[in-house]
Structure 1
Amino acid sequence: MRTEVLWWLEQAKRDLRMAEELLKLGFFEGAAYHSHQAGEKALKALVIKKGGYHLTHSCKFLLDQLKVQKMDVDEVYSDAKELSII
């Protein structure tokens, strides 16, 4: 696996751990932020692995890239679209 893919996955894991800890402490805004970051970074890793364009902060755009690669992303697409509006 490419080094860049592994780097993004590690960053996603770190953000997820931060979100979990912040949630335990009751810091919900921080937990929400790091949860979004974790999802975005995990999507970037997958897009890079599939050879797509990843220089964005839009989860919807990243999922669009995966749809082009014939990946089934319908289950999470509407949620990502909602996040991209905020």
Structure 2
Amino acid sequence: MKFATPFSTFLESLLVLLATSTNLVKADCSDVHVVFARGSGEVAGLGICGEPLVSGITSDLSGMSVSSYAVDYLASYDQTSAGPGATDMANHV
């Protein structure tokens, strides 16, 4: 169940972002931007959960532009800190 809590937190954050409107939108920004960190042991990219998540969001929000960013971090099984991934995500956002 390591996946359930971070994933539900992510979805809650996404819903808050979608529900919050702003007048300060840059012209080159997509309507929805998904930042996703793949699971431990997966190759670089969005991973086996991120790809279908972004595809589903894209399908469900037809008429809106959707972009994604795969967090750049080691994703090893013996990683003891979220520091590098958290830093990459914070720098991206």
Using the size of structure 1 for normalisation, the TM-score is 0.33
Which structure is larger by alpha-carbon Rg, 1 or 2? 2
Using the size of structure 2 for normalisation, the TM-score is 0.32
Higher normalized helix content (fraction of residues): 1
